[in-house]
Amino acid sequence: MLETATFAGGCFWYMIEPFEKVKGVSEVILGYTGGKEVNPSFKKVCSGETGHFQAAQIRFDSTIIYYRELVEIFFHQIDPTDEEGQFNDRGQCFQSAIFYHSPYQKQIVEEYMVELEVSEHFLKPLVTKILPASSFYKADEFHQQFYIKNVFRYKLHRLKSGRDESLKKIWRSVEQEEMLMNQLTPLQYGVTQLNQTEPPYQNEYWNNTKDGIYVDIISGEPLFSSTDQYDAGCGWPSFTKAIESSVKEEMDVTHHMVRTEVRSVKSDSHLGHVFPDGPVDQGGLRYCINSAALRFIAKEELVKEGYPQFLSLFNRKVL
């Protein structure tokens, strides 16, 4: 059974991607709601004259995904304590709000917000509004699926908004943060959590020639094998490929350039970048990775460390 959910979480460009990827969601439409003006323009809504919020209206199959799950996804995209907007997007139209379409939805939202308050995760009170659904006006086609149609502009705008960095701090628990601080050195934390880059030729594995695999320093997830490592002359460990399904790639528009960032799937740690200047006979890619994001496990230690399945990567057996 298809139902409707409506969320306002700042610039509505950021409300598409988190929901379109969810199983059970059939459609995400961007638009304006909560105000009185009929068919307002984007410019007028942003001026604050209409009283409308930038919002996303979601059609979902409630037999596949529950409304509460959507509410949880929504809250993890916002700062629910910000009453002036969201991150660098300021003004009434960027305030966070949930527009309920039934008494049931209202109850779910109220209960969830009480749970957040009781958990004491936030030091400031929650200010996300709970409002009855009203007329929803679809935004111009230019804005629909903006993150797909205008990838570079979307990434640049998202970077300048400060959203991603802030969300990590907002939703990471005190326990998680303390665990990372205790587990990682300042350099490891800076690289994996703050997207920093370690110095070339002054890192642990740039010239490693031992056989073994490299795992995520945080999660232990296998990422790269020495069988795919080569000397690229750049001062960082370089690989022609990653272990299958262990990394994800995202556009990086920092430092006034366009690059492809490499992150670990399990811990979402920053690892490095991938470039199209690797050995042609091995696929042409160069995964340039920070040593600080990795832990090396020598071939002889694979069984002891719990990675026996990777022995097959190497020709001779470990005694």
Encoded tokens for 181: 């601080």
Question: Whose CA is closest to 67, among 34, 27, 25?
Answer: 25
Radius of gyration of the chain (CA): 23
Q: Are the C-beta atoms of 315 and 226 separated by less than 8 Å?
A: no
Residue from 46, 93, 234, 288 carrying the catalytic annotation = 288
Encoded tokens for 146: 């903006």
- The β-bridge partners of 36 are none
**103: how many CB neighbours lie within 10 A of its CB?**
8
**21: how many CB neighbours lie within 10 A of its CB?**
10
Asked about 288 being catalytic, the answer comes back as yes
* Number of H-type helices and E-type strands within the chain: 10, 17
Longest alpha-carbon distance in the chain:
76
**72: how many CB neighbours lie within 10 A of its CB?**
11
Phi, psi for 169 (deg, rounded to 5): -70, -40
Residue from 11, 46, 93, 234 carrying the catalytic annotation = 11
Question: Whose CA is closest to 51, among 134, 124, 111?
Answer: 134
Phi, psi for 197 (deg, rounded to 5): -125, 130
**35: how many CB neighbours lie within 10 A of its CB?**
20
DSSP class of 254? G
3-state secondary structure 121-134: CCCCCCCCEEEECC
Asked about 93 being catalytic, the answer comes back as no
**189: how many CB neighbours lie within 10 A of its CB?**
18
Residues taking part in catalysis: 11, 288
